[in-house]
């Protein structure tokens, strides 16, 4: 790809961000506006349809409209193929960040058509529109570690007092793990379809599409609900006194946490150094990994005792221990690094919740 300077044609750069009311989409919209971009945010608040009123992202969109003059909102459904084509034809964006999704592993089984239409079908709508109207513009797709299905659970594990870990000294899971022949959940399968389609547009049409397989993406702006947004939801329960349910694995299941700001800065790095159809595992890595029990301990140390109950049955296909190997990301984007460690992430989410209660 030509360097960034060659693509800045002495004008304000324009990005389309789908899911701009969501955790990642809103963070990307803020960062781009701060960096002088014009942002067209696309979000129809479908999150409220998926998860009920607590899941609404309307207030975030309102805040973007009121505080960022360079932000323009389109209350549009990305499943609407013609509207997506019309938008891309009219705007011809320099950069596309696609974060809109049905994001819940557990929810998908009860809404398989909506899940597939949003996660897979609408991603195809965006890819074809990008190919036809702005094929050279970098395109970031937020995939998920659920494309690996439950294969991470086949790794040898050891049980420690407060968490599971890999038994053989493995630091984290890299992009060579197979996505085939395992249990994915309906969500994992629809994201696999989108993930592979994004790779294909990168390879077949030589488009600069990056596929980022997220671990736990988090931050204070998550409209957290039980079925999506683990860390923000558990903090919300601890601060508000709401009971929390742990599902299986003795509460020792491990996730690596990355702050939405670090995701957004990475996407800007991809804009500057795009590659065609490249896949990356994206998370907080070992340093930002934490189990449910360890989260409860950390919150207690901050003065918040979580009321919780334990249910033996784990969520179907849930990972026991998932930590992203970040070596490929770091090698391709040496200027990028994590700026949020776990205490900082937790402190921010706690602060946001305290302000709300």
Ligand X SMILES: NC(=O)c1ccc[n+]([C@@H]2O[C@H](COP(=O)([O-])OP(=O)(O)OC[C@H]3O[C@@H](n4cnc5c(N)ncnc54)[C@H](O)[C@@H]3O)[C@@H](O)[C@H]2O)c1
As a whole number of angstroms, the distance between CA 18 and CA 27 comes to: 12
User: Taking contact as CB under 6 A, which single stretch among the options 43-51, 126-134, 203-211, 265-273 is the one that binds ligand X?
Assistant: 43-51
Smallest gap from Cβ 75 to ligand X, in A, equals 8
Smallest gap from Cβ 130 to ligand X, in A, equals 16
Given candidates 45, 86, 106, 200, which one binds ligand X under the rule CB under 6 A? 45
As a whole number of angstroms, the distance between CA 179 and CA 288 comes to: 24
Q: Which is nearer to ligand X, 277 or 283 (CB)?
A: 283
Collapsing DSSP to helix, strand or coil, 15 comes out as strand
Smallest gap from Cβ 210 to ligand X, in A, equals 13
Q: Which is nearer to ligand X, 103 or 138 (CB)?
A: 103
As a whole number of angstroms, the distance between CA 297 and CA 256 comes to: 16
Cα angle: 97, vertex 187, 170; to 5 degrees: 85
Tokens 């407060």 sit on residue: 162
Site for ligand X in 204-263 (CB under 6 A): 214, 216-217
Q: Report CA 273 to chain centroid distance, whole Å.
A: 20
Tokens for 265? 């800065």
Q: Which is nearer to ligand X, 144 or 289 (CB)?
A: 144
End-to-end CA distance of the chain: 48
Q: Which is nearer to ligand X, 157 or 198 (CB)?
A: 198
Given candidates 14, 32, 33, 44, which one binds ligand X under the rule CB under 6 A? 44
Smallest gap from Cβ 267 to ligand X, in A, equals 11
Site for ligand X in 89-148 (CB under 6 A): 99-101, 103, 118, 122, 142, 144
Cα angle: 178, vertex 194, 73; to 5 degrees: 140
The answer to whether residue 188 forms part of the interface with ligand X (CB under 6 A) is no
Smallest gap from Cβ 168 to ligand X, in A, equals 26
- Per-residue string for binding with ligand X, 144-183, x by CB under 6 A? x---------------------------------------
Collapsing DSSP to helix, strand or coil, 279 comes out as strand
Counts of helices then strands in the chain (DSSP H, E): 13, 15
Tokens for 347? 């402190």
Smallest gap from Cβ 305 to ligand X, in A, equals 25
88 to each of 37, 175, 180, 250, 304, how far by Cα in Å?
17, 31, 33, 48, 47
Smallest gap from Cβ 167 to ligand X, in A, equals 25
Binding site for ligand X (CB under 6 A): 19, 21-25, 42-47, 57, 77-79, 99-101, 103, 118, 122, 142, 144, 214, 216-217
């Amino acid at each position: 790809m030509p360097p960034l300077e060659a693509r800045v044609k002495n004008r304000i750069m324009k990005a389309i961000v789908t899911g701009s009311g969501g955790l990642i989409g809103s963070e990307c919209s803020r960062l781009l506006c701060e960096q002088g971009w014009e942002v067209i945010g696309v979000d129809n608040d479908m999150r409220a349809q998926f998860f009920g009123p607590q899941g609404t992202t309307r207030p975030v969109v309102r805040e973007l409209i009121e505080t960022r003059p360079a932000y323009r909102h389109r209350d549009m459904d990305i499943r609407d193929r013609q509207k997506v084509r019309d938008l891309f034809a009219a705007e011809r964006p320099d950069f596309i960040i696609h974060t809109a999704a049905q994001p819940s592993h557990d929810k998908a089984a009860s809404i398989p058509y909506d899940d597939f239409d949003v996660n897979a079908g609408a991603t195809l709508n965006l890819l074809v529109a990008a190919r036809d109207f702005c094929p050279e513009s970098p395109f970031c797709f937020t995939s998920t570690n659920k494309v690996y299905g439950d294969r991470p659970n086949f790794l040898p594990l050891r049980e420690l007092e407060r968490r599971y870990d890999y038994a053989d000294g493995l630091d984290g899971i890299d992009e060579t793990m197979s996505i085939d022949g395992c249990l994915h959940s309906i969500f994992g399968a629809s994201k696999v379809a989108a993930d592979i389609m994004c790779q294909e547009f990168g390879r077949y049409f030589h488009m600069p599409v990056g596929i980022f397989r997220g671990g736990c993406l988090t931050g204070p702006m998550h409209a957290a609900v039980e079925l999506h947004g683990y860390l923000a939801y558990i903090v919300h329960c601890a601060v508000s006194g709401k009971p929390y349910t742990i599902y299986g694995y003795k509460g020792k299941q491990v996730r690596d946490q990355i702050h939405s700001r670090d995701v957004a800065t990475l996407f800007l790095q991809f804009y500057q150094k795009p590659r065609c159809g490249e896949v990356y595992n994206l998370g907080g890595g070992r340093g930002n990994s934490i189990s449910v029990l360890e989260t409860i301990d950390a919150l207690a140390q901050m003065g918040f005792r979580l009321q919780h109950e334990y249910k033996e049955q784990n969520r179907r296909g849930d990972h026991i221990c998932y930590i992203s190997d970040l070596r490929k990301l770091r090698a391709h984007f040496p200027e990028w690094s994590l700026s949020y460690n776990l205490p900082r992430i937790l402190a921010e989410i706690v602060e946001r919740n305290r302000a709300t209660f």
